[in-house]
């Protein structure tokens, strides 16, 4: 019996496990989380009485069905929760659970590691009361609490309107939904968005609900500053008409879309290539999720595609792994899943243009703005390092000189903005600035745990 290991228990990982189980195998499903579902289909903490179907709205049916399918196989798989995979080498996973280190070999590895918020710094973004958009949703879904009573949703993401609707539904006051991408750019992206008309209509419904509720919905804004001394009190914006707008609030949910968690994929041997539309380094796979011998990528950890694409790509990667191991024959199911994944990811390419990463606004940030909050490195610190004689124009050299990206998050938060600052200040393309190289451990671990393996 082959060791088929899946990392991540969001929609992609859950579906991959279901497919492997359906073919008579016992997959090993490893996750850092306490409960399956990932971010989009997150379950509340045990004992918390939160009406998730109501909160999920039109997605409630898929939410309930996915969890029901997983519960049906849960006892039949090797499900390892609260377990960190901190390194991959020589077809071996290095694990840490409850302070105890261990290893796990694999014949096939399916990475369904998901994504995290992509953040563009603005003046005041380190104030208490500023959360990532995903963090605002975690607080609501996992703990049943708001990040504030008067919340501003700011950035460039289709999830702004969704999260705002969820907050309004449970009684929070949404003071503004402010998107940095101009409205005309959204209109221009409509042909690509037609690849998933149901999702498009759902997004328009979220915006319509906000308009009907009297929430200001702005496009083409520039986030000028988040105000406050020891806590958020307001956010100031410049709207598309070049007018300054100020919205009193006690919390800000900040998000500019998602970035795949690619660290484990890189350690496992995947090749990363620069995507100009997303302005991110993404793993290279074939149409079935293959990224190398015995390595398969699925869900948002491979390419941003949303929950529907994650489910389909998880099943597709599992079918590909089983076929490559000789346990199944490629067939019509794989071809249908491939087409579905391709169509949904084309939709996400349209979303990336409709909700664009604010390259120009990042490049125009003042020197005083904090770029790396882990190491307290400012935008000016980076520019001054680059301005030295023979100063660096490659992101890893800038990191070495400034410590930007050396903190606890290892550049997960500041990395995309650092790349834009470096490229913009050097006058080079985003790809030419390079990417932050990954190294183990991908997340902090106790030295004793590492010593136990070495």
pLDDT (tens digit, 9 = 90+) per residue, 89-127?
999 999 999 989 999 999 999 999 999 999 999 999 999
What does the pLDDT read at residue 54? 73
Query: Within its chain, how far is the Cα of 352 from the centroid?
Result: 13
CA nearest 126: which of 413, 318, 386?
413
> What residues form DSSP beta bridges with 4?
108
pLDDT > 90: percent of the chain: 77
CA nearest 70: which of 7, 22, 138?
22
5-41: per-residue pLDDT in tens?
Answer: 999 999 999 999 999 999 999 999 999 998 888 877 8
Mean pLDDT over residues 146-175, rounded? 94
What does the pLDDT read at residue 452? 56
Task: Assign 226 to helix, strand or coil.
Answer: strand
What does the pLDDT read at residue 450? 61
Residue 291 neighbours by CB under 8 Å, 6+ apart: 111, 265, 268, 269, 270, 271, 283, 284, 285, 297, 302
Q: In Å, what is the CA distance from 410 to each residue of 85, 393, 429?
A: 15, 20, 23
Domain chopping of the chain, boundaries? 4-116+259-352, 119-256, 365-433
CATH topology of 119-256 equal to that of 365-433?
no
Mean pLDDT over residues 63-68, rounded? 86
Q: Beta 130-132 vs 100-105: how paired, if at all?
A: unpaired
* CA dihedral sign of residues 106, 112, 117, 120: positive
Q: In Å, what is the CA distance from 202 to each residue of 80, 158, 161, 188, 192?
A: 35, 10, 10, 19, 16
Stretch (H or E) spanning 379: helix 379-387
Residue 443 backbone zone (phi > 0: left; psi -120 to 50: alpha; other: beta): beta
Q: What value does the mean pLDDT of the chain take?
A: 92
119 and 140 Cβ atoms separated by less than 8 Å: no
Q: How confident is the model at residue 454 (pLDDT cuts 50, 70, 90)?
A: low
> What residues form DSSP beta bridges with 377?
372
28-37: per-residue pLDDT in tens?
Answer: 999 999 888 8
What does the pLDDT read at residue 60? 77
Residue 26 neighbours by CB under 8 Å, 6+ apart: 1, 76, 77, 78
3 and 107 Cβ atoms separated by less than 8 Å: yes
334 and 286 Cβ atoms separated by less than 8 Å: no
Nearest-angstrom CA–CA distance, 103 and 28: 13
Q: How confident is the model at residue 396 (pLDDT cuts 50, 70, 90)?
A: very high
Rounded (10°) angle between helices 415-426 and 395-402: 110
Mean pLDDT over residues 193-199, rounded? 85
Cα angle: 361, vertex 199, 35; to 5 degrees: 85
Alpha helices in 297-331 (DSSP H): 306-324
pLDDT > 70: percent of the chain: 99
What does the pLDDT read at residue 224? 94
Mean pLDDT over residues 183-211, rounded? 89
Q: Is the pLDDT of residue 335 over 80?
A: yes
Nearest-angstrom CA–CA distance, 236 and 39: 29
Instruction: Tally Cβ neighbours within 10 Å of residue 170.
Output: 15
Mean pLDDT over residues 201-226, rounded? 92
Q: Tell the CATH superfamily of the 119-256 domain.
A: FAD/NAD(P)-binding domain (3.50.50.60)
Q: Does domain 4-116+259-352 have CATH number 3.20.20.10?
A: no
> Which CATH number is 365-433 given?
1.10.10
44 and 138 Cβ atoms separated by less than 8 Å: no
What does the pLDDT read at residue 55? 73
Mean pLDDT over residues 324-336, rounded? 87
Backbone angles phi, psi at 343, to 5 degrees: -65, -45
Q: How confident is the model at residue 451 (pLDDT cuts 50, 70, 90)?
A: low
Nearest-angstrom CA–CA distance, 166 and 115: 20
Q: How confident is the model at residue 67 (pLDDT cuts 50, 70, 90)?
A: confident
Is omega for the bond preceding 401 within 30 degrees of 0, making it cis?
A: no
Q: Is the pLDDT of residue 360 over 90?
A: yes
Q: Is the pLDDT of residue 234 over 60?
A: yes
What does the pLDDT read at residue 151? 98
CA nearest 140: which of 54, 214, 64?
54
Q: How confident is the model at residue 199 (pLDDT cuts 50, 70, 90)?
A: confident
48-57: per-residue pLDDT in tens?
Answer: 777 777 777 7
Q: In Å, what is the CA distance from 219 to each residue of 187, 250, 265?
A: 12, 22, 35
What does the pLDDT read at residue 425? 97
Nearest-angstrom CA–CA distance, 43 and 432: 41
281-316: per-residue pLDDT in tens?
Answer: 999 999 999 999 999 999 999 998 888 899 999 999
What does the pLDDT read at residue 266? 97
End-to-end CA distance of the chain: 28
Mean pLDDT over residues 413-439, rounded? 95
Q: What's this model's pTM, rounded to 2 decimal places?
A: 0.94
DSSP 36: S
């Amino acid at each position: 019996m082959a060791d088929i290991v899946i990392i991540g228990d969001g929609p992609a990982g859950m579906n991959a496990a279901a497919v492997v189980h359906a073919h008579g195998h016992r997959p090993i499903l490893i996750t850092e989380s306490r409960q399956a579902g990932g971010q989009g289909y997150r379950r509340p903490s045990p004992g918390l009485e939160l009406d998730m179907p109501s909160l999920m709205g039109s997605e409630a049916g898929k939410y309930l069905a996915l969890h029901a399918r997983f519960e049906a196989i849960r006892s039949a798989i090797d499900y390892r929760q609260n377990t960190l995979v901190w390194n991959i080498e020589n077809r071996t996973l290095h694990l840490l659970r409850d302070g105890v280190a261990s290893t796990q070999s694999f014949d096939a590895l399916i990475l369904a590691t998901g994504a995290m918020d992509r953040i563009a710094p603005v003046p005041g973004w380190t104030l208490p009361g500023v959360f990532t958009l995903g963090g605002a949703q975690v607080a609501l879904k996992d703990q049943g609490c708001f990040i504030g009573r008067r919340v501003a949703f700011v950035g460039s993401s289709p999830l702004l309107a969704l999260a705002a609707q969820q907050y309004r539904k449970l009684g929070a006051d949404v003071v503004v939904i402010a998107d940095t991408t101009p409205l005309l750019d959204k209109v221009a992206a409509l042909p690509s968005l037609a690849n998933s008309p149901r999702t498009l209509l759902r997004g328009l419904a979220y915006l319509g609900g906000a308009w009907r509720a009297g929430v200001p919905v702005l496009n083409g804004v520039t986030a000028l500053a988040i105000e406050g001394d020891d806590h958020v009190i307001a956010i100031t914006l410049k709207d598309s008409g070049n007018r300054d707008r100020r919205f009193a609030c006690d919390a800000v949910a900040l998000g500019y879309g998602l970035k795949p968690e690619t660290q484990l994929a890189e350690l496992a041997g995947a090749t990363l290539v620069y995507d100009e539309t997303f302005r991110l380094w993404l793993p290279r796979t074939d149409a079935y999720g293959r990224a190398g011998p015995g390595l398969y990528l699925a869900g948002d950890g491979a390419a941003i595609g949303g929950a529907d694409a994650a489910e389909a790509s998880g099943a597709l990667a599992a079918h590909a792994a089983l076929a490559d191991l000789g346990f199944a024959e490629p067939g019509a199911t794989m071809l249908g899943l491939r087409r579905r994944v391709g169509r949904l990811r084309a939709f996400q390419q349209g979303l990336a243009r409709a909700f664009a990463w604010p390259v120009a606004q990042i490049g125009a940030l003042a020197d005083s703005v904090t770029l790396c909050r882990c190491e307290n490195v400012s935008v000016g610190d980076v520019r001054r390092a680059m301005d030295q004689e023979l100063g660096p124009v490659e992101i890893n050299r800038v990191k070495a000189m400034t410590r930007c990206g050396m903190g606890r998050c290892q550049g997960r938060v500041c990395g995309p903005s650092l790349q834009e600052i470096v490229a913009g200040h050097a006058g080079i393309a985003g790809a030419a600035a390079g990417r932050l190289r990954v190294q183990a451990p991908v997340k902090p671990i106790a030295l004793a745990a590492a010593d136990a393996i070495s």
